[in-house]
Copies of this chain bind each other. A is one copy, B any other.
Amino acid sequence: MNAIRGLGFRFAGSGIALPRTAIASTEIDARIGRDAGWTEANFQIANRYWAREDETSSSLGAAAGLAALDAAHWNAADIDVLISACGVMEQPIPGNAALLQRRLGIGASGIAAFDVNATCLSFLVALDALLMGMAVGKWRRGLIVSVDLASAALDFAAPEASAIFGDGAAAVAIEAGGPSHMLACRLATYGDHSTLCRLESGGTRMRPDDDLDAFLAAAKFRMDGPALFAATAKRFPRFLRDLLSDSGVPLDTIDTIIPHQASAAALEHLKRSVLGGHAKTLDIFREHGNQIAASMPHALHVARERGLTAPDSHSLLIGSSAGVSLGGAVIRW
């Protein structure tokens, strides 16, 4: 039971932005010295986009934000709050929220802007926070922007932790009052697995002045894929059962599953775990890879474009993240 279900909201708009440069998996093959086709055969990914030169987290995030505002027929100044929901920020200080606010042309407005972070589940936490703020009357119109440039920290010596990642941005505009309800939202964190998926340099612990070589070595993303899969898979059935129980909606009522796009293997596991999962699950992995925090709102944007968020239909948002966390929400549109 969750009192937040009392608040109706309207999914007013959404948008995405992609870097200009598409990187085919054959380019990855060449880079890592494999035969053409190896990456696609192993990871079921054909393409991803990488930011180049002038494309930054804030420029791509703002482009997605403006697309969402345009879809909502809002001006940027119409929003009460901007929540940035990213995995790795453009820079530590200030965070993406302030940079995005400036890029959206509302940098003199005083409109509240802050960041939330749960790595790949950041969008889910931001959506929950936004709807709670609307439920208590704090905000009326909000914009959530997720953007991640995974390409900034990939180590191609580890194909399974590099070949599957792409860059991108997605944004969602939400208005208080309307037909849609978040029926349940859950986040379950297991910090004991915090080393399974990590990027260690870029914060307060690893310091380039202390040991530059160690700093540079730890400036690449590391992932123990099999252990991560095991840690999340074993907890997934109970997590999903609890989430659906919270929502009061049985699994067969879910029309569309909008997952984080962790990997082809993770998506396949999800589809097999859920009755009818192959037909219901939105899968954009082959063309975009894992866009970290941007994956879930990107998939939600695609769902909206395809008419899969029609009134009274039900969506399940679900995924896992570094942490390790499992997260999910049930929405009746």
Contact = CB atoms under 8 A, between A and B. Distances in A.
A202 B91 contact: yes
Contacts of A118: 95, 97, 113-115
A57 B56 CA distance: 27
Interface of A: 1-4, 6-7, 51, 56-57, 82, 87-95, 97-103, 106-119, 121-122, 125, 128-129, 132-133, 135-138, 148-149, 152-153, 186-194, 197-208, 215-216, 219, 221, 235, 321-325
B322 A198 contact: no
Contacts of A111: 188-189
A188 B110 contact: yes
Contact of A136 (B4, B90, B114, B187): B4
Contact of A204 (B93, B133, B152, B208): B152
A17 B77 CA distance: 41
Contacts of A322: 93-94, 98
B2 A91 contact: no
B1 A57 contact: no
A113 B88 CA distance: 17
A217 to B, nearest CB: 11
Contact of A93 (B51, B88, B90): B88
B194 A112 contact: no
22 contacts: A1-B137, A3-B138, A6-B136, A7-B136, A82-B189, A88-B203, A89-B203, A91-B199, A91-B201, A91-B206, A92-B202, A94-B198, A98-B191, A107-B193, A112-B325, A113-B325, A114-B187, A115-B118, A116-B116, A132-B135, A149-B204, A202-B203
A158 to B, nearest CB: 15
Contact of A321 (B94, B107, B192, B202): B94
The secondary structure that dominates the A interface is mixed
Contacts of A138: 2-4, 128, 132
Nearest to A151: B204
Given A135-B132, A138-B132, A199 B92 contact: yes
A98 B323 contact: yes
A97 B189 contact: yes
Most buried by B among A94, A107, A119, A321: A94
Contact of A119 (B6, B93, B194, B200): B93
A49 to B, nearest CB: 14
A99 B200 CA distance: 12
Contacts of A321: 94
B94 A57 contact: no
A203 B137 contact: no
A105 B72 CA distance: 45
Nearest to A81: B187
A110 B202 contact: no
Contacts of A216: 208
Contacts of A129: 129, 132
